[in-house]
Amino acid sequence: MTQLVERDAEVRALERSLVRLGAGQGGVVVLDGGAGAGKTALLKRVRRLAVDRGYAVLSARAAELEREFAFGVVRQLFEPVLPTAGPERARLFSGAARTAEGLFGAADQTVAPSSSYAVLNGLYWLLVTLAERATPVLLVDDVHWADLPSLRFLGFLARRLDSCAALLVVTTRSADHGEDGLADDLLAADDLTLLRPRNLSGRAVAELVRRELGPDAHEEFCAACHALTGGNPLFVRELLRVLVTDGVRPTADGAAAVAAAGPDAIRWYVTARLRRQPPHVRAVARAVAVLGDDVALAEVAAQAGVPAAEAASAAARLTHEGIFDRADPPAFVHAVVRDIALTLIPVEELGPEHERAARVLLEAGRPVTRVAAHLLRTTPAGVADRVGLLATAAGQAFRHGAPENAAVFLDRARAEPPPPAQRAEVSRQLGNCRAHHLALAEADDHLREALALADGGRQRALCAYSLARFRNACGAPREAVPLLVQALADLAGAEDPGLELEVEAELIGMARADLGGRAELVRRLAAFGRRPGRPQAVLDSQAALEAVLAGRPAGEAIALARSALAGDVLTPERCGLWAAVHTLLVTDQLDEADRRMQRALDTAVDRGLLLPMGIVRGYLARIAYLRGDLAQAAEHLELGTAAAPPPNIGLPILEATAAEVHLEHDRPPDAATVLASGVLGDDRPPHSSAHLWLLGARTRLRLAQGDHVRALADAEICRRSYERWAPGELWDVPWRLLAARAHLAAARPAEATALIGEQVRLARDFGVPRHLAVALRAAAGPAEPPAARRHLEEAVELLRAAPARLELAHALADLGRLQLRGGDRSTARATIRRAAELALECHAQALADRLTAGLATKGGRPPRLRVTGVSALTPSERRVAQLAADALTNRQIAERLYVTEKTVEAHLSRAFRKLDVRSRTQLVSRLTTGPRL
């Protein structure tokens, strides 16, 4: 190994990192510098130091040609240490690591579809298990060329080094590649050591010159070498190699010769040396320059068009000449030398060279992504085979959880262009990939292009179907419905009943969301119900919501929704799921709805479905809000908003719920901001059923602001929308009650009483306690005290058995106030106190404060309320505690929640403290016997 000069500080820093690692403290070291600064040399040094200390070294080198090879770097890191079969492999890939196993198959063909996130988590746990044997040191050379999924893994790991002690050392040329090659996570790692090996000083260069050319090298000669190379270690080494080969003497005269070579000396020397080789040797150099390092000699021979034996001797000769580092498999001494060799290929020949490379690698059975990487560098020429290969590579990248990489291949396939028959399909897939990673504008363009290009019934239908699903996922069902109608017309003669049913099921779901789509929906639904082979789950799900809309008793709707969800066949990227879940929400089956949405969340995460994330979180937030768990609602709202950049189907439910949570916290200005900047900002008219939530929230906001005129106007829009869309849907947005509040505020009690009376009657028929209680609470407002008291007492009774804790707090608060007015002091105090405690449990601080302040003015000191027990837990603590109570180990919990074991421990110890328990057994009984939120 080369004796390094002037690198003592760097080596010491690296040693310190290794020592800290020995003490269980992981970290990240970034070696940053220009070409030839000596980064790889330092990395080699770390490797030796790490091996000496008994660490397990995993190493990889990223290469420019393999950038599109998803998880290429990760595979280099792990593959050498993974057994190909047997119990040890099974152990390594148990638990969460299972999701990563597909990456390490014999070939990369058979990988189960999985999102990058699940795979990253799997890789992390694989490393954790490996670390049980020996502390890992991961070395990645030239990380600026690493494929994106691998970079993400390194970033993912960097954020978890406090819980999995590992040292990650990477080299990068940030100046040449900007920061885009380096995951921000890597640079943001808590324990980051940034080393920038500098150019060598004159003294250091002299030392190297004397090492090679003899101790008597003249001072002037050494200075000339320094001046020419600027002290860049690579250039110094290459220059010395040339000087040795050419027999230059290190005298003062020789110095003039060195200086005269000029700043391009290295390039000049390499070029000159290559040019004087015989043609077959030049061909081999050229072949390796194109193929990249570490390709088998046989492939190099095929690429160069020379017999294998000749290729071998050529490689040996190039090694002898100092151009190759080794002959088999052949590799250049340095990337800079390879770059120079590449520049010797005339530009117009580069495309054909890569074309040939793709063929050679394909015939050699190399992974299709590697083959396609060369096709990316060919000149588009309408070659059908290329399109096929690029599309296959894209499919594979997609299954590896790398939709961006897939899009790169498809983009190139599109530019080829594909033969007319395939054009639409390529654009369609490209659009889907773009949508998958939320590049929405591009997705839209490509999907529309696909539809315009499509030719023939089935293809057109498929393209319209993709575009419709995308538009619907962007919150525009109105645009989606006609597309699906067209798709069905196109499918009429296509003999694909499976696809037809699928399109029809989606059409029904989307028509339901379109406020103008009622007639289409009803007509289609009836026909769908008679179709042979129809998916029963979809039918039941739609029938469930229809039952609600038709004002049937809730029990009927609930039974249908349960039957729809029973087989777990409805997934979050298809419409069927939402009608069933919505039914559960409206009928107050919140536990069930929550479980269902948690599962949808898992599916979305596992399969990398980014588009439905917003609506899944939106429903979770709404469920938490209806339950009265404002902290949990806030968490889902935050995560959902981050996951759903506009346009997104999830925005209305997220915005409406956020606004209502703000109002619950007495923050009308914040609610106003959310609504004004949202989907229905600037008073845009509603056109999707999801917009009615927003209207409801806006009406409440206006009531809170005392603007009863505009509140009434909004309630009126609600009424008209519902009457047009689904006159029986009274529960999501109880517009009668909202309008009644506006009438009351405007001193029109008769109108209010009539509307409320109507709602009470309807709610009694429907049979969901919450809705009746809400209506009764409203009825108490304008009623005389004895009647009001009866209404509120009934409401409280109903809510005690319902999951709506915050609603109960409000009803108790109203009742308490009434009792107080009636002079029943001590009962009133007890009622209000209970209301305040409930409010605190719900994290509804504003209501709790109001109530305790009320208690204080009427009777001295405000009581001190203390919340302990289950309701004192934060959502995360509660989740962890619940899983622990379900007998999962800390490690299993960490795997399940995509966090580290350290995080689990921290949550759990806080939960133990709040619940005042000392063991998991106690935890179980505390969680099962304690009051449920």
Ligand X SMILES: Nc1ncnc2c1ncn2[C@@H]1O[C@H](COP(=O)(O)OP(=O)(O)OP(=O)(O)O)[C@@H](O)[C@H]1O
Q: Give contact residues for Mg ion (rule: CB under 5 A).
A: 40
Tell me, letter by letter, the H, E, C secondary structure of 274-319.
HHCCCHHHHHHHHHHHHHCCCCCHHHHHHHHCCCHHHHHHHHHHHH
Q: Which of 189, 311, 335, 443 binds ligand X (CB under 6 A)?
A: 335
User: CA neighbours within 13 Å on the CB side: how many for 492?
Assistant: 4
Q: For residue 398, count other CB atoms closer than 10 A to its CB.
A: 24
C-beta pairs of 494-497 under 8 Å, 24+ apart in sequence:
494/457, 494/458, 494/461, 496/458, 497/533
- Report in angstroms how near the CB of residue 335 gets to ligand X at its nearest: 5
Which of the stretches 149-157, 229-237, 280-288, 841-849 binds ligand X when contact is defined by CB under 6 A? Answer: 229-237
Counting contacts by CB under 6 A, is residue 239 touching ligand X?
no
Does 836 bind ligand X (CB under 6 A)? Our answer is no
| C-beta closer to Mg ion: residue 342 or 746 | 342
Reduced to 3 states (helix: H, G, I; strand: E, B; else coil), residue 192 is strand
Token duo for residue 811:
């009803």
Beta bridge partners of 60: 140
Distance from C-alpha of 257 to C-alpha of 219, rounded to nearest angstrom? 14
Nearer to ligand X, 3 or 928 (CB): 3
Q: Does 173 bind ligand X (CB under 6 A)?
A: yes
Question: What DSSP assignment string belongs to 916-929?
Answer: T--SHHHHHHHHHH
Cα(470)–Cα(286) distance, rounded to whole angstroms? 46
Measured from the CB of residue 198, what is the shortest distance to ligand X in angstroms?
10
Tokens of 235: 């250039």
Number of H helices, E strands in the chain: 49, 7
45 binds ligand X (CB under 6 A): no
Q: Which is nearer to ligand X, 145 or 153 (CB)?
A: 145
CB-CB contact of 409 with 394 (8 Å) = yes
Q: Which is nearer to Mg ion, 139 or 616 (CB)?
A: 139
Pairing type for strands 56-61 and 27-32 reads: unpaired
Q: Please give the single-letter amino acid code of residue 626.
A: L
Cβ distance to ligand X smaller for residue 35 or 223:
35
| Smallest distance from ligand X to CB 5, Å | 4
Q: Which of residues 774-793 bind ligand X (CB under 6 A)?
A: none
Residue of 14, 30, 41, 323 that binds ligand X (CB under 6 A): 41
What residues pair up with 138 in beta bridges, in sequence order?
58, 168
Nearer to ligand X, 12 or 91 (CB): 12
Instruction: Please answer whether residues 673 and 641 qualify as being in contact, where contact means their C-beta atoms are separated by less than 8 angstroms.
Output: no
Candidate ranges 232-240, 255-263, 463-471, 778-786; the one touching ligand X (CB under 6 A): 232-240
Interacting span for ligand X (CB under 6 A) from 71-79, 330-338, 393-401, 594-602: 330-338
* Tokens 């990563």 found at: 100
Q: Which does 181 bind (CB under 5 to 8 A by kind): ligand X, Mg ion, none?
A: none
When asked if residue 234 is in the footprint of ligand X (CB under 6 A), the reply is yes
Smallest distance from ligand X to CB 258, Å:
18
* 3-state SS assignment for residue 791: helix
**231 lies in the binding site for ligand X (CB under 6 A):** no
**Long-range contacts from 873-876, C-beta under 8 angstroms, 24+ separation:** 873/911, 873/914, 873/915, 874/631, 875/624, 875/629, 875/631, 875/632, 875/635, 876/635, 876/907
Helical (H) or strand (E) element with 138: strand 136-141
Is residue 612 involved in binding ligand X (CB under 6 A)? no
Work out what residue 35 binds among Mg ion, ligand X, none; the CB cut-off runs from 5 to 8 Å by kind.
ligand X
Q: Is 237 in the site for ligand X (CB under 6 A)?
A: yes
CB atoms within 10 A of CB 646: 13
What does 4 interact with, of Mg ion, ligand X, none (CB < 5 to 8 A by kind)?
A: ligand X
Residue number with CB closer to ligand X (38 or 136)? 38
Q: Smallest gap, in angstroms, from Cβ of residue 479 to Mg ion?
A: 52
Q: Does 35 bind ligand X (CB under 6 A)?
A: yes
Residue 297 beta carbon to ligand X: minimum distance, rounded to whole angstroms = 23
Partner interacting with residue 33 (select from Mg ion, ligand X, none; CB below 5-8 Å by kind): ligand X
The SS3 of residue 562 is: helix
For residue 102, the partner it binds in ligand X, Mg ion, none, with Cβ less than 5 to 8 A by kind, is none
Of the candidate spans 38-46, 80-88, 289-297, 647-655, the one that interacts with ligand X by CB under 6 A turns out to be 38-46
**Taking each helix axis from N to C terminus, what angle separates 297-304 and 308-320, rounded to the nearest 10 degrees?**
100
**Residue 73 CB, nearest distance to ligand X (Å)?**
15
Q: Specify the DSSP element, H or E, that contains 384.
A: helix 384-399
Q: Which of residues 541-570 bind ligand X (CB under 6 A)?
A: none
Query: Should residue 535 be labelled a site residue for ligand X when binding is judged by CB under 6 A?
Result: no
Q: Taking the mean position of all CA atoms in its chain, how far away is CA 664?
A: 31
Shortest separation between residue 342's beta carbon and ligand X, angstroms: 14
Q: Is 201 in the site for ligand X (CB under 6 A)?
A: no
Comparing CA positions, the residue from 871, 828, 836, 839 lying closest to residue 853 is 836
Q: Residue 226 and residue 199: Cα distance in Å, rounded?
A: 10
Q: Would you say 32 or 594 has its CB closer to ligand X?
A: 32
Give the residue at shortest CB distance from ligand X. 38
Exactly one of 26, 233, 686, 816 binds ligand X (CB under 6 A); that residue is: 233
Count of chain residues binding ligand X (CB under 6 A):
23
Residues 6+ apart with CB under 8 A from 522: none
181 counts as binding ligand X under rule CB under 6 A: no
CA distances from 930 to 53, 628, 632, 830 (A): 52, 17, 19, 21
Under rule CB under 6 A, residue 40 binds ligand X: yes
Q: Which does 336 bind (CB under 5 to 8 A by kind): ligand X, Mg ion, none?
A: ligand X
* Complex with ligand X: residue 325 or 824, whichever CB lies closer: 325
Give 273 or 805: the residue with its C-beta nearer to ligand X: 273
- Which string of b and e fits 269-289 if b means at least 16 CB within 10 Å? bbeebbeebeebbbbbbbbbb
Q: Does 174 bind ligand X (CB under 6 A)?
A: no
Per CB under 6 A, does 61 bind ligand X?
A: no
Q: Exactly one of 26, 33, 612, 734 binds ligand X (CB under 6 A); which one?
A: 33
Q: Which is nearer to Mg ion, 241 or 627 (CB)?
A: 241
Establish if 6 lies at the interface with ligand X (CB under 6 A).
Answer: yes
CA 174 remoteness from chain centre? 26
Q: What does each C-alpha distance from 26 to 196, 364, 785 come to in angstroms?
A: 20, 41, 68
- Residue 168: which H helix or E strand, with range? strand 167-172
Q: Which does 82 bind (CB under 5 to 8 A by kind): Mg ion, ligand X, none?
A: none
Q: Which is nearer to ligand X, 64 or 886 (CB)?
A: 64
Q: Min. distance of Cβ 435 from ligand X in angstroms?
A: 37
The binder of 792, among Mg ion, ligand X, none, by C-beta within 5 to 8 A per type, is none
Out of ligand X, Mg ion, none, which partner does residue 237 contact, by CB within 5 to 8 A per kind? Answer: ligand X
Q: Which of 498, 477, 483 is nearest to 451 (CA)?
A: 483
Taking CB under 6 A as the criterion, which residues in 129-158 touch ligand X?
142
Cα–Cα dist 265/248, whole Å: 14
Pick between residue 40 and residue 174 the one whose CB is nearest to Mg ion.
40
Options 28-36, 120-128, 217-225, 497-505: segment touching ligand X (CB under 6 A): 28-36
Residue nearest to Mg ion (CB): 40
Window contacting ligand X (CB under 6 A); options: 151-159, 331-339, 617-625, 684-692: 331-339
Interatomic CA distance for residues 471 and 451, integer angstroms? 13
- Positions touching ligand X (CB under 6 A) are 2, 4-7, 33, 35-41, 142, 171, 173, 208, 233-234, 237, 334-336
